[in-house]
Chain A
Amino acid sequence: MGYATKSPWVIHYDASSCNGCDIEVLAALCPGFDVERFGIINTGNPKHADIFLVTGSVNERNISVVKQIYDQMVEPKVVVACGTCACSGGIFHDCYNVIGGVDQAIPVDVYAPGCAVRPEAIIDGVVQALGILDEKSKALKAAKRGA
């Protein structure tokens, strides 16, 4: 495993969540779960982050924001859709302005379902994401060497 997996910094964006999942994301950082044990830090800045945690479904108003935050993250990067809404649009899927899950806007690597998503599920999702991050990191290194 490369260093990318030992220091996953996350950015959390609330697309149109009911705040249930947001609270669970923050709960994961609190002493009870203490994800800093794995080097996870909540950065709040896409330029510093490796993992993009999105809660809530994507709608007409925020789809550009989700895309831009994703674009501003520096490679290698992975996306974790946290909660049912982020996975598929969930209970809001047929609202007039809801487009659907996060995968309607950006490529999603891991889906962590739940309403609200449990901290264990988030941690599990992040751990899965780390595997993908590691592969992407290796691919980037290989590309750099090739270039």
Chain B
Amino acid sequence: MTLIAFLIIFPLVIAALLLLVKGDWPRNIIVGISAAVIAVASILLAVQYLGTSHRLFEFSSAIVDYVGTAISIAIAAVIISFGVKYKNKLATALAIVQVVGSLVYEFGFAHAVHEPAGLYIDSLSVIMALIIGVIGSGICVYALGYMIDFQAHEPEGAKDRRPTFFALMFLFLSAMFVIVFSNNMVWMFTGWEVTTVCSFLLIGYTRTDEAINNAFRQIIMNLLGGIGFLVALYIATIQMHTISLDRFILEGLMHPEIAALPVCALAFAGLTKAAQMPFHTWLLGAMVAPTPTSALLHSSTMVKAGVFLLIKLAPLFLVCQVPGTMVILIGGITFMLCSFMAISQTNAKRVLAYSTIANLGLITACAGVGTPEAIWAAILLVIFHAAAKSLLFLCVGTAEHHIGSRDIEDMDLLFERMPRLARFMMLGIMCMFIAPFGMLIAKWATLVSFVETKQVVLIILLAFGSAATFMFWAKWLGKLSGIAGRPQNVEMTVHPSEWISLIVMAAIAIVACIVLPIMSHTMVEPYLVGIYGQLGQDISVDNLWISSILAVFVLVVLFGGVNSSKKKRVGVYLAGVSTDSDTRTYRNSLSGESIATSRNLYLDSIFGEARIRRTGEIVCAIVIIFALVASGVVPPMFY
């Protein structure tokens, strides 16, 4: 309980402190130490509550309620001021709707229901706390070095907004802790809205036209989700007389006919936050932000809040068929189509974004299936995705500053130019898609759970989607692994803080892969037992250990084996007319010199965004509208 309060309040204090600090050095020290403190605190929390299935804490306070209301008003004020300044009517209108809605709720309905147990902890929130506390604060450390380079790349005389930037990062962490520990859904909603507005400000950090546009796209989509959440709060209070998450789930299980609409509205909120189609464009737009922001949004916060909520609601999806089907379909379609679209991307960050959306789709689909087996897979996907994706984002960010591009084609020869970084990047990529690493084990479990529940559509979507996944990762990996000649090593100027967080991320990814069986036993299973009263692991422990051993083998090879061998080096074959094989130069038919170049396959004619995006958005929008109408207007017909 103390630890939970500490985890929520401490980042807030640091955020306030960082707003005031202007110099690089004091900031480095504050961020470094507080990140370590948060990481240690979340690990302590994990140790203390290891294996806890569910535990409520008696905590309620009118002051906290009022603070929440004040925060809601502040959020609305921020959005409205930006909306007026940049003349964005839709965002302003939505913000007004939301603030009026929450004020009416707060003063008209909230006092009808009193919730004594405001906070709770279970194994899922422990896992989430670890992800937020360790990976999230690791990204904050990474941002220290990155933002120095970033500021140096900015045009002369650009305003230094770094104090706000770091304050927002820590505020984000605090809000995430609120979301994962609040049993009181009103508090959870406050945290939810804080993450929305934080990412709004972070995406718009550079204040360029593109950044502002994308920030508004994000806020509009997430305000829609927020309104969904608010609708759910109203219905829960009025019809079910509870604002506590665990009571809500219990009531929902007993009266699915009442729960259908609020569950659907909450799921809608989760889908927008998890950037599922048709709302996936906000996460793509978020790429304009500095890389630590993308890393934070993609791996440990924001989108993870969305899937966290969906996983929490999973038992309800088993009984409420309309929202369940909606979540399954949206997740499955998003997984397949976004995997397809990732093939056609050359921009590394966009590939990462599409892969994030695709994986969130998979998690969403698992949550929608709702069986213990599916949830086991979903939680593991959350863990491995957080670890591998943060590693990848940080690698791409560092590479971008040192080779001057985030295009995959420009990462040619990275293995020689930035040997350590390239290996980390390769590790991250392998963790994302290939056996024997955790992500694939989780996908395997996903497939098994789909098969067992006979989700035919999902099986087919998964089969084709994973094939596409192989394609876009493998060709990137191939680009990285190219070796020729002795290009200059440009790695020496990477900031130490960047190395530290890269190593931490890599270590997390590695350890998570190796101790997967233990993690499943001590962290994931207790949650499933708490919720369903049964275990969810579908893959035998033997198979998990075999994978662990193979994973270790790959790591040894990657970091120990692929160094230059003592074999004689020869040039590449260029039809006998090569003049310099390191640069692939050859003598052409006019006795001049040409360079042989080859690009990867991007298959734009088959998997191009233009072909796929519209279809996906329309199909998913229809599914959502149909589900909302079906569960809102005609619930009795469906039960």
Q: Which residues of B contact A65 (CB under 8 A)?
A: 575-577
CA distance A66 to B587 in the complex (A): 14
Q: Which residues of A contact B576 (CB under 8 A)?
A: 13, 46, 64-66, 68-69, 72
Does residue B25 face the partner (Cβ distance < 8 Å to A)?
no
Which range holds the interface residue count of chain A?
10 to 19
Does residue B578 face the partner (Cβ distance < 8 Å to A)?
yes
Does residue B107 face the partner (Cβ distance < 8 Å to A)?
no
Q: Which residues of A contact B571 (CB under 8 A)?
A: 72
Write the chain B residue with the least CB distance to A75.
B568
Q: Which residues of B contact A45 (CB under 8 A)?
A: 573
Docked complex: A55-86 residues within 8 A CB-CB of B: 64-66, 68-69, 72
Q: Are B577 and A46 in contact (CB under 8 A)?
A: no
Q: Which residues of B contact A141 (CB under 8 A)?
A: none
CA distance A68 to B570 in the complex (A): 11
Q: Are A72 and B577 in contact (CB under 8 A)?
A: no
CA distance A13 to B577 in the complex (A): 13
CA distance A46 to B576 in the complex (A): 9
CA distance A64 to B577 in the complex (A): 7
CA distance A74 to B587 in the complex (A): 23
Q: Which residues of A contact B577 (CB under 8 A)?
A: 64-65, 68
Interface of B is mostly: loop
Docked complex: B185-219 residues within 8 A CB-CB of A: none
A48 to chain B, nearest CB (A): 10
CA distance A54 to B405 in the complex (A): 46
Does residue A6 face the partner (Cβ distance < 8 Å to B)?
no
CA distance A65 to B578 in the complex (A): 9
Q: Mark B574-593, 1 if CB is under 8 A from A, else 0.
A: 01111000000001000000
CA distance A20 to B487 in the complex (A): 46
Q: Which residues of A contact B570 (CB under 8 A)?
A: 72
Q: Which residues of B contact A46 (CB under 8 A)?
A: 573, 576
B38 to chain A, nearest CB (A): 55
Q: Which residues of A contact B575 (CB under 8 A)?
A: 65
Docked complex: B345-371 residues within 8 A CB-CB of A: none
Q: Which residues of B contact A47 (CB under 8 A)?
A: 573
Q: Which residues of A contact B587 (CB under 8 A)?
A: 64
A28 to chain B, nearest CB (A): 22
Q: Which residues of A contact B578 (CB under 8 A)?
A: 68
Docked complex: A24-66 residues within 8 A CB-CB of B: 45-47, 64-66
A74 to chain B, nearest CB (A): 8
CA distance A13 to B587 in the complex (A): 18
A91 to chain B, nearest CB (A): 25
A18 to chain B, nearest CB (A): 20
Write the chain B residue with the least CB distance to A61.
B591
A79 to chain B, nearest CB (A): 14
B578 to chain A, nearest CB (A): 7
**Which 7 pairs from chain A and chain B are nearest by CB?**
A65-B576, A69-B576, A68-B576, A65-B577, A72-B573, A47-B573, A46-B573
B interface, CB within 8 angstroms of A: 570-571, 573, 575-578, 587
12 contacts between A and B (CB under 8 A): A46-B576, A64-B576, A64-B577, A65-B575, A65-B576, A65-B577, A66-B576, A68-B577, A68-B578, A72-B570, A72-B571, A72-B573
Other than the known A65-B576, A68-B577, A72-B571, what 16 A-B pairs have Cβ atoms closer than 8 Å? A13-B576, A45-B573, A46-B573, A46-B576, A47-B573, A64-B576, A64-B587, A65-B575, A65-B577, A66-B576, A68-B576, A68-B578, A69-B576, A72-B570, A72-B573, A72-B576
